[in-house]
Structure 1
Amino acid sequence: MKNIGRDMNHYLDQNHRREKYADIISRVKNDPDVRRFLYTNRNELEPDAFSKGIAKLYEFFNEKEKIAKHEDNFAPGYFPRLIVNNHLIDVSYEPQPAKVAADAAAAKAALVDAAHMPKDFRNARLDNLDTAGREDALGAAMKFVNAYVANPKEYHQGFYLTGDYGIGKTYLLGAMANELAGYQIPTLILHVPTFSVEMRDAINSNTVLKRIRQVEGVPVLVFDDIGGETASPWFRDDVLGVILQYRMQERLPTFFSSNVTMQNLQENMSIGRDGQDDSLKSNRIMARIKFLAREIEVRGKDRREEIARRSTE
């Protein structure tokens, strides 16, 4: 914190304005907040606390005026408050309501790690969803949130949302994640096609295992658009399989969204290198997915088309 008293004396000495010192003292002393503080704490302050604390009183007065005039101040987002410190006058800074609200919103948003997700996803709410065709999925999401919040140490099975492109599967899962964030429960949402590319890049930097460790143990994990990634036996077995195995063993809530059914996903994953049949490995992956999640079909209108239509009206 800069020395307000030293700056004030420098200002007075260098600019030959010491004659205004008395006026400044008078304005500070007659400030309603200063008067109230001095009267309220008169029995706690030393007899010469005013003269010893003039720099602090000026700091309080000056910063308060800047805030009132919407000027740049010493601690943006914070309001000065006079306090008694060892029987002398001091200044502390408390966050303004807008600052408190902004910090709370930022902390809540940080609980949902959702890179590569649409912007409207971050404002998704379960109570704002169009329920037509989504009744089962919405009911499952609400039931999960209530059950997990009530008993976070118990195992709660996730769900696998399947349905056409654009009908709101990811949006619903994002709404659920935002709801959980309100209870300080973090969620990681992975866009699987993007994640698979990132993991292949991680081979060059030798950080594959590190990235897997970062993902596998998060409290709530969502695999978004699984089945949309380029077929890769390595990603299936050494990345996805490892993460799913860990979460199955640790009984960690895991969710999926996909444009294909579980049956179709199993068939797609059964294609190995050079077209060989990898049904055994595919079955192993799907056994983990089915343990972690139950399949729910989502219907409804294409949300993207609806949003585009509204934007042109």
Structure 2
Amino acid sequence: MESMGEVLRSMNNPALRMRSRDLEHELLNHPLVLRLRAEHPELEESRMRLHLSRLYQYVEEARNCANCPGLERCPNDFQGHYSKLTVESAGGSPDLYERKTACALQVAKDSQERIRKRITSFYVDERALSEGYDEIEIMGKDPRRAQAVGRILRYIEDSKENGLSSRGLYLYGSFGTGKTFLMCYLLHELAIAGYSGVIVYMPDFVEDLKMMMMDGQKLKETVDTLKNCDLLIFDDIGAENLNPWARDHVLGAILNYRMNRKPTFYTSNYTLERLEQHLSFTSKDGEEGHKGQRLMNRISPYVDVVQLVGENQRGYPS
């Protein structure tokens, strides 16, 4: 079908005037337009003829959608949307109105973007948050992971049904067993339910804190984000090179604020006992058992411990 604009611009040519009449006849007898007329017999044909450009847009975009090339190559005027016609009364007379309506692909994309905006990542590979999740693969990839995976799935379902608990999970196990991936899955599923979440890769976070010491505003904003998000995940805790300030004044302050308020989650290669040993030692002050114990008092009473066993999925030895 020709562009309606092209036809109208050529109305001075007698042959093309006849072509425009043929086009009008073709348009008014298109199945979609006939269906619209059948559904709204109150709409006079004169009003239909007045809105030929809307009818044309409606038919063309319906054709494009029927042969959808994908959202990124959508040929419609407003990408990811199609023309929807409605009949409404204006001044006591029915008339034809056009509205742009998001297609299913656009609705799904918008939904994913809303979910993604609820999640903040500090130094964690974005692919872990954006590649999608196959629940069958999560459950079946390694049968030895089933108990840990089942515990995480129960946490998700409990949170959706009953709201967030103030208790989090401490997921520990050897290298490459999928701890980060499972926590990203938990974060994604609860973001769908409307909760905000932050995941922090601890080794890089602690290093970056040294530079944040020189930028008080950035430090405050970062700490406030970690304090106030619905779910907070410290990924690979125990692998960082701690200093007393990061441990006592940053990590300690965050955990002190969250305990009994909001759930905090952890992934680690360490058991809780070994983590306490790690937190008791800093590169500056050496062994400080009481400070490690003080921090652990803000961790261990507020988590359920989950061990993840299984094969190393990264392709190198543990």
Superposition TM-score tier, normalisation by shorter sequence: 0.7 to 0.9
CA distance in 1, matches of 2:87, 2:33: 12
CA distance in 2, matches of 1:171, 1:114: 13
Q: Aligned letter for 1:100? A: V
Q: Aligned letter for 2:132? A: N
Pick from 226, 230, 245: which aligns with 1:215?
226
Q: Aligned letter for 1:177? A: L
1:231 maps to what in 2?
242
2:278 maps to what in 1?
268
1:83 maps to what in 2?
86
Pick from 121, 127, 132: which aligns with 1:119?
127
SS in 2 for 1:48: helix
1:149-192 per-residue CA deviation (whole Å, 9 max, x = no partner) reads 22215x34222122221122222222323333443334322111
Seen in structure 2, the aligned counterparts of structure 1 residues 132 and 277 have a Cα distance that, compared at 3 Å, is: same
1:202 maps to what in 2?
212
Deviation of 1:8 after TM superposition, in Å, equals 5.2
CA distance in 2, matches of 1:52, 1:126: 53
1:83-132 per-residue CA deviation (whole Å, 9 max, x = no partner) reads 11322112222222333333334444444444523635643455423454
Larger deviation, residues 88-97 vs 273-282: 273-282
Please say if 1:286 is aligned against 2:296: yes
Please say if 1:98 is aligned against 2:105: yes
Q: Aligned letter for 2:298? A: R
1:189 maps to what in 2?
199
Contact 2:176–2:314, Cα closer than 8 Å, also in 1: yes
1:247 maps to what in 2?
258
Deviation of 1:15 after TM superposition, in Å, equals 8.6
SS in 2 for 1:104: helix
Which aligned pairs between 1:2-81 and structure 2 lie closer than 5 A? 7=5, 11-12=9-10, 17-43=16-42, 45-46=43-44, 48-68=46-66, 72-81=75-84
Q: Aligned letter for 2:10? A: L
CA distance in 1, matches of 2:64, 2:155: 49
Larger deviation, residues 12-21 vs 275-284: 12-21
Please say if 1:139 is aligned against 2:139: no
Larger deviation, residues 202-211 vs 97-106: 97-106
Seen in structure 2, the aligned counterparts of structure 1 residues 231 and 183 have a Cα distance that, compared at 3 Å, is: same
Contact 1:248–1:292, Cα closer than 8 Å, also in 2: yes
1:212-271 per-residue CA deviation (whole Å, 9 max, x = no partner) reads 111211111111101111222111122211111111042x11110111222222222223
Pick from 167, 170, 174: which aligns with 1:160?
170
CA distance in 2, matches of 1:55, 1:74: 13
1:311 maps to what in 2?
none
Seen in structure 2, the aligned counterparts of structure 1 residues 274 and 239 have a Cα distance that, compared at 3 Å, is: closer
Gaps of 5+ in 1: 309-313
Gaps of 5+ in 2: none
Seen in structure 2, the aligned counterparts of structure 1 residues 166 and 67 have a Cα distance that, compared at 3 Å, is: closer
TM-score normalised to structure 1 length: 0.82
- After TM superposition, the runs of 4+ consecutive aligned structure 1 residues lying more than 6 A away are none
CA distance in 1, matches of 2:135, 2:64: 42
Q: Aligned letter for 1:123? A: G
CA distance in 2, matches of 1:15, 1:120: 62
Seen in structure 2, the aligned counterparts of structure 1 residues 14 and 257 have a Cα distance that, compared at 3 Å, is: farther
1:182-205 per-residue CA deviation (whole Å, 9 max, x = no partner) reads 433343221111222333333333
SS in 2 for 1:240: helix
CA distance in 2, matches of 1:138, 1:23: 65
SS in 2 for 1:90: strand
CA RMSD of aligned residues (A): 3.0
Q: Aligned letter for 2:150? A: G
Seen in structure 2, the aligned counterparts of structure 1 residues 119 and 30 have a Cα distance that, compared at 3 Å, is: same
Seen in structure 2, the aligned counterparts of structure 1 residues 275 and 15 have a Cα distance that, compared at 3 Å, is: farther
CA distance in 2, matches of 1:47, 1:133: 69
SS in 2 for 1:89: strand
